[in-house]
Amino acid sequence: MENKKILLHICCGPCTLYPLRVLRDEGWSVTGFFYNPNIHPYREFRRRIKALETVAEVKDLPLIWDKTYGLRPFLRAVAFREDRRCEVCYLMRLEATVKKALELGFDAFSTTLLYSRYQAHGLVKEIGEDLSFRYGVDFVYRDFREGWEEGQEEARRLEIYRQPYCGCIFSEQERYDKKFRKLLKKKEVE
Ligand code: SF4
C-alpha cells in the first residue's frame, strides 16, 4: 500500500529536521511547502531559503516553493493589529498550506511551527484544527517541541544557518532593541 501523503508547511531549514524525521518514521510521504511572507528583510529571506535548500538536498525532501518576497501583503495584513500579528501570520501561512494540500490532493497537512519553542504552540494547533474543519483536510498535530535538542544538534552538524529572530521586522526589533523590549513589557508601545 502506498504511504499517505502529507504537505508540511516549512518555516525554515533548522525547524524541518525533527518533524521530518518523526513524520517519515510514522510512514508519511512528506512534501514540504515553503510559504513565509513574514520573513524580512530580503537578504534574511534569501538566507533562510538557502538553508532549506541544503536540508532538502541532504534529506531528499521534495519541496513546493513560493519564493515571492511577501513584505507588502504581510505588512498590510498586520497593520493596526501588530500586537496580534502572530495569529494573523499563522493563519496566512497555514491557510495557504491547507489550500495547496486540497488543490494537490494531499491526505493531510501540518507545520514545522509546531517544533519551535518560541511560537504560540496552542494557537498554531487551534488554527490548524480550525482550517482542517473548514477545508476538510486532516491536520496532523504533534508536539514536535519534544525533539528540540535533536533538531538543533542536527542543524549544527549540517552547518546550516540558524536565524536569531522569528522572522518579521517587528520580531527583529524585539530581538535587538533592549529599550523597546522594556517598553513592550510595560505596555508603553503604541
Ligand atoms: S513574530 Fe514570528 S510568528 Fe509572529 S508575526 Fe512575526 S514572524 Fe510571524
Strand, helix or coil at 170? helix
DSSP classification of residue 9: E
> Which cell numbers in the block locate residue 121?
504552540
- In angstroms, the CA 51 to CA 56 distance is 9
**Considering only CA atoms, which residue is closest to atom 4 of ligand 1?**
86
φ, ψ of residue 20 in degrees (nearest 5) = -65, -45
- Point out the ligand 1 atom lying closest to the alpha carbon of residue 38: 7
Strand locations in 89-141 (E) = 108-111, 138-139
Share of the chain above pLDDT 70, in %: 99
The mean predicted confidence, pLDDT, of the chain is 96
CA of 89 to the centre of ligand 1 (A): 6
* CATH superfamily of the domain spanning 5-162: HUPs (3.40.50.620)
Which residue do the cell numbers 500579528 mark? 85
pLDDT tens digits for range 148-179: 999 999 999 999 999 999 999 999 999 999 99
**Cis, bond preceding 41 (omega within 30 deg of 0):** yes
The closest residue, in CA terms, to atom 2 on ligand 1 is 166
Closest residue by CA, ligand 1 atom 6: 168
Q: Tell me: the pLDDT tens digits for 110-119?
A: 999 999 999 9
Q: Which amino acid is at 155?
A: A
Q: What are the pLDDT digits (tens) for 8-54?
A: 999 999 999 999 999 999 999 999 999 999 999 999 999 999 999 99
Q: Where are the domains positioned within the chain?
A: 5-162
Q: Look at residues 38, 52, 68, 73 and name the one whose alpha carbon lies nearest to residue 10.
A: 52
What predicted TM-score, i.e. pTM, was given to this entire model? 0.95
**Per-residue pLDDT at 46:** 98
